[in-house]
Amino acid sequence: MAVSEMSVADKGAGPYGIAAGPDSALWLTFAHSGRIARLTLDGELNEYPLESPECRPTVITPGPDGALWFTRSQDHRIGRITADGETESFPVPTPDSGPFGITAGPDDAMWFTEMNTDRIGRITSTGDITEFVLPCTGAYPSAITAGPDGALWFTLNQANAIGRITVHGDIVIHRLPTPSAAPVGITSDGAALWFVEIAAGQIGRISVDGAIKEFPLPDPTAKPHAIVAASTGDCWFTEWGANSIGHITGSGKITEYSLPSPSSEPHGITLGPDGALWAALETGGVARLEP
């Protein structure tokens, strides 16, 4: 399995989130320089500066409107960028909300987490925002994904739990078996939800009825961060602490692939338009792994 790397920015830019766009290109957030970048498969890079260099764009994902949507965790806004680079942003009503995770919902809206204010937000394509208060405080909701059951599923990093919210705002919380596991990334494989436990060095699986199974990584200090499903029972994740890309099967078999550059800080991961896995490296590059 070949792993290659490509430089896309200097170390100060901080590539963080990555997503495959509807235009067969990859879209990245540069968290430290306040930019969105578009990378074609043959390596052509365009950068789009946001109106605030300190806005800290984090997670990015395609929306139902053909644009890319992203969170701005430092200036508490939701951003939108079209395939030709036009940007706009919308302030989250609750002050200092710290939006982080974002995903397209089953209702033609985008759903996002508010790390600092224990809320889940919903934003329409025209920028109308609704917020739902979680039944816990200091929970630090992090990543969010659309589940196979028509609901949204999210990680509660500090509450040690996985949450589920319906499009009508009904919320259920599922506690994790491992204490202080600090879940972050979450994805749906079409049948169940898979998530990473950054503090416990484990990958977790939760079925839509709430049954949880955990799979320890070979290195408990691997710090798994983001996860994406390629198909049912076929997930890939970044290991920030182990400088690797990991793979887990439905039965829990784990394989790891080291990245060429040492301490490259892999964060976001996505399935590219070319069928390969692409990861954002905070030290200034992207990694490509062809299964």
- The annotation places the binding site at 225, 265, 282
111 touches 152 (CB < 8 A) = yes
Residue 25 per-residue DSSP state: S
Rounded CA gap, 163 and 222, in Å?
24
Output the DSSP codes for 188-230.
E-SSSEEEEETTTTEEEEE-TT--EEEEE-SSTT--EEEEEEE
Given a contact cutoff of 8 angstroms between Cβ atoms, the answer to whether 101 and 113 are in contact is yes
Whether 76 is a known active-site residue: answer no
Q: Which residues contact 111 (CB under 8 A, 6 or more apart)?
A: 102, 103, 104, 105, 120, 121, 122, 123, 144, 146, 152, 165
160/223 Cα distance (integer angstroms): 15
11/105 Cα distance (integer angstroms):
33
Residue ranges of the binding site for Mg(2+): 265, 282
Burial 81-105 (b: 16+ CB within 10 A, else e): bebeeebebbebebeebbbbbbbbb
Q: What is the dihedral of CA 215, 216, 218, 221, to 10 degrees?
A: 140
* Cβ atoms of residues 134 and 126 within 8 Å: no
Residue 31 to residue 53: CA distance in whole angstroms = 9
Instruction: Give the 3-state secondary structure percentages of the chain, helix then strand then coil, rounded to 5.
Output: 0, 55, 45
Q: Which residues form the catalytic set?
A: 267
